[in-house]
Amino acid sequence: MLSGPQLRVAVASLAAVCFCGCPWSRWALKDPDYAAKYDAPPEALDVATQAKQSVDARFVEGKSGWYVAGAGHADPDAAGGEIGGFVYPQSWLSAHAGLALLGGTGADDVFVGLNGGLRIQPPSRLAPFAGVGMFHGYSEHEYLAQRDWRDNDSDGSIDELGETGTEYGWLSAVYPEIGVHYWLNSSVRATASGAYYVTTEGRDSDFWFYGASLSFLQN
> Phi first, then psi: what are they for 92, rounded to 5°?
-105, 0
Per-residue pLDDT of 1-13, as tens digits, reads 445 554 454 455 4
Q: Where does the pLDDT of residue 17 fall: very low under 50, low under 70, confident under 90, or very high at 90 and above?
A: very low
For 27-41, 42-56, 67-81, 153-167, which range has the lowest pLDDT when averaged over its residues?
A: 153-167
How many angstroms separate the CA atoms of 121 and 32, rounded?
A: 22
Cα distances from 119 to residues 74, 97, 102, 184, in angstroms, run 25, 12, 21, 19
Q: Where does the pLDDT of residue 25 fall: very low under 50, low under 70, confident under 90, or very high at 90 and above?
A: confident
Looking at the chain, how many residues does it have?
A: 219
Mention the CATH class of domain 64-218: mainly beta
Q: What is the pLDDT of residue 194?
A: 97
Q: Residue ranges per domain, the chain?
A: 4-56, 64-218
